[in-house]
Each structure stands twice: as C-alpha cells, then as structure tokens.
Amino acid sequence: MKSTKPYAWVPSLYLGEALPFTAVMIVSVIMFKEYGLTDGEITVYTGWLGLPWVIKPIWSPIIDNMMTKRWWILAMQFVMGVALGLVAFTLPTSFWLQGSLALFMIIAFASSTHDISADGFYILGLEDKDQELYVGVRNTFYRIGMIIGQGGLVMLVGAMQDGLFGNSLAGSAMPWMTAFIILGVLMVLLSLYHSRMLPKVENGNVNETFNVKVQAQEFVNTLKVFLTKPYLASAIAFILLYRLPEGLLTKIVPLFLTRSRAEGGLELSNYDFGFVSGTLGVIGLLAGGIIGGWAVSKWGLKRCLWPLVLSITLPDFVYVYLSYVPTDNLWIIGSCLCFEQVGYGLGFAAYTLFLVTFSRGERSTSVFSICTAGQYLGGVMIPGMVSGLISENIGYQQFFMLIMAFCLVTFAVTAWVSKGLKNE
C-alpha cells in the first residue's frame, strides 16, 4: 500500500474535495431559486452554510490528534455521500427546505473536515519534490470537480427539464433528485476507492495524549503569534476586505444569469447556465490562477500586486454591461463570464501569496489557517449572506454598479498593506 503512486490518489482526492463544496455553495443556490426562494432568502440560508469553513481552525487540532488523516478522509467522504443522497429524498417532501438545509450543513462540516485532512495527508503522503510536482495536478482536479458539479450536473438537470432525454420534467423534483443521487454515489465510490488506494503513512493509533486544555492553550499561543505580527492592522483589513466585491458577486451572479427577464435577469436555462458557468467560467478561473501564480513566482508579490488587484476588480464591469445591455447570445455571456473569472484567478493568486508571506515564521501552518478563516469570513460568508438582501431591494443593475464602487475598498486596503510590503 505504501508504494501507491501519487497519480493514483492525488487527482481523486481533490476531486472529492471539490464536489461537495460545489454542491453546498453553488448548486444549492440554483436549486433553491427554482423552488421559489427570493435572492435574500437564498443568500442568507446558503451563506450560513459557509460557517464550517470559517471555524475550521477550532477543530483542526482534533483531526491532527485523533485517528489518522486517512481515516478522516474515508469517513467524511462516506458521510458526504450518504448525506448528498438523502438530500435527494427530502426534495419531494413538505419539509424540503428544513431537511435539505440540515443535510447541507452536515455536508459542509464534513467537507471542511475533509479539507483539513486532505491537505494534511498531501503533506504526509508526498515527498517535498512530489508536493511541488503535484500542486498543479491537485488544483486542476479541484477545478474539474467544480466543472462536474456546477457544470455537468446542472446541465444534466437542465437537459431533463428541457426534455432532451424524453418527456420534459420541468417543475418536477426528479432532475434535482437525480443530480444529488449521482453526487452521493460518486462520493461513496471515492471513499471505497481511497480505502484501497490511499497509502498508509501514519501509525494508525489514536493519540492518547490528546488533551482539550492543551489544545486550547496551543490555539491561544497561535493567536498570540498572529496578533504580534508586524503591520497587523493593515493585514487584517486586507484579509477581510480584499475579496469584498467578489464575495458580494459569488451568489448573485448565478441568480442574475438564471432569473427571468421580468426579474432583471438573463433567463438562462439550467443547461446553458451549467455550460457558461461550470465550463467556460471554471476554465477561465483555472487559466487566471495559473498565469497569476507564474507571474508572482517570476516577478514577486511587490511588483505584481497592483496589476493583479486591477485584474480582480475591473473585469467585474462585465456584469454592469450585461445588466444594462441584456442579451441571449450565449457566447457573449460566456465570454464575459470567462473574462471576469480569468481576472479573479489572477487577483486571487496575489491574495494567496500574501497570506503565505504573512504567515511565515513561528507556527506558520496554524497562522495560515487563521488567515484563511478570516478571508472566508470577510470575503465569502458575510458578503454572500447580505448580497441577496441588497440585490432584491435595489435591482441587479444598481447592485452591479455598487460592486464597482466597492472595488474602491479593495484598492484602499491594497494601498495600506503595500506600505508594509515595501518595508519588508
């Protein structure tokens, strides 16, 4: 088992990391829209589902000290598979909202736990040179998982609703039930596959010295290291607010693309949305990330910071354009979305490198986990929760104009944090 080659488990491990996250954070948005929820209801409900990723640092010591990371990976993949399958069976019931939200929260906690375990296992299971070699592979297969989830499965739902496989199932729960059953089966199969293919790189014993008080003190010590970092105020502002415009856009863009023209949207079918968002959009994001990573590795963060900041903000204007000049031309919509996602990928590369740079030194891994929790809180969860309440009160056109105004916040925190970078 120890001789298992990395190519036999790295791609599938990160495929399994992407699928449940995409189901909880993206696919659920489209499904709830079809079930008649308003933008505000959708973003508040699905925004809360991001909580497990925010508080990951609190229980990551438990995962590090109890059982093995391999055990956690297998267990969480199986739990997510069962829970995703159960989502399907709640949809035809009268308690579909309560049932699906409860299951989505279970999936979210299992998924965030899986993330911790998978990233730790990646470090334990690979030599240093292989970690560098496979970093592109893990990122690529994570994006492939997104394509399968928000692309392929949403397209399947649309095809079933449009009658491409026979009778139209529009208005029926069957298309969404089918999608979640497929996701559930995939996750269970991944759990079974990894039970054979994941190498056994840990001793398999429960750490009998695990102590809650000791771990709590360790967290306090890490927090002290974090709070004594130089240029802390500017760094916290940057971590929380850099992604504010994108955080507001994340959940509204799928709603804008699929809402009816009378509601101010572009009225894409689920099939068309799956194509432009789950394929062209994700490909653009992947391309931007690759180019951004290459740029910062070649020229450094200081030189690349402002060009990449402009890349993550200015392309947001495509949504202003689409809201004021609506079109049903799929290639125009897809090109706009792909262009914006390339810019996001470029800008996120700079953001990630800043988090790595800021975290270097004592307790770097634990400090980095606090940083990622902060970026998810300020850049995903809170903006995502309020975005729908804003859009349904001012309309999509004014919402996207507001996004462009919020880009000034990104510029401000970048200008502030860049002073610290110059002094490094």
pLDDT value of residue 206: 52
Give the per-residue pLDDT at 299. 87
* pLDDT bracket for residue 74 (50, 70, 90): very high
Average pLDDT of 388-400? Answer: 96
Looking at the chain, the whole-number percentage of residues with pLDDT higher than 70 is 94
pLDDT one-digit tens code per residue, 211-229? 677 777 878 888 898 899 9
Which of 353, 344, 346 is closest to 379 using CA atoms?
344
80, amino acid identity: M
pLDDT digits (tens, 9 = 90+) for 299-329: 888 888 999 999 999 999 999 999 999 999 9
Residue 1 confidence (pLDDT): 42
Average pLDDT over every residue of 356-362? 84
Which of 326, 361, 130, 418 is closest to 226 using CA atoms?
A: 361
Please give the full DSSP string across 41-64, using - where no structure is assigned.
HHHHHHHHTTHHHHSHHHHHHHHH
Q: How far apart are CA 252 and CA 26, in angstroms?
A: 10
State the pLDDT confidence band at 15, using cuts at 50, 70 and 90: very high
- At 82 the pLDDT is 97
pLDDT one-digit tens code per residue, 143-185: 889 889 889 999 999 999 988 777 767 778 899 999 999 999 9
Burial of 224 (0-12, 13-18, 19+ CB in 10 A): exposed
Q: State residue 423's pLDDT score.
A: 53
- Work out the pLDDT band at 239, boundaries 50, 70, 90: very high
Q: According to the 3-state scheme, what is the secondary structure of 164-206?
A: CCCCCCCCCCHHHHHHHHHHHHHHHHHHHHHHHHCCCCCCCCC
Looking at the predicted structure, is the pLDDT value of residue 396 above 50? Answer: yes
- 99 pLDDT higher than 90: yes
Q: What is the rounded CA–CA span in Å between residue 210 and residue 35?
A: 46
pLDDT at 13: 93
Domains and CATH numbers, the chain: 1-200 (1.20.1250.20), 213-424 (1.20.1250.20)
pLDDT recorded at residue 209: 57
Nearest to 244 by CA among 405, 62, 80: 405
pLDDT at res. 5: 85
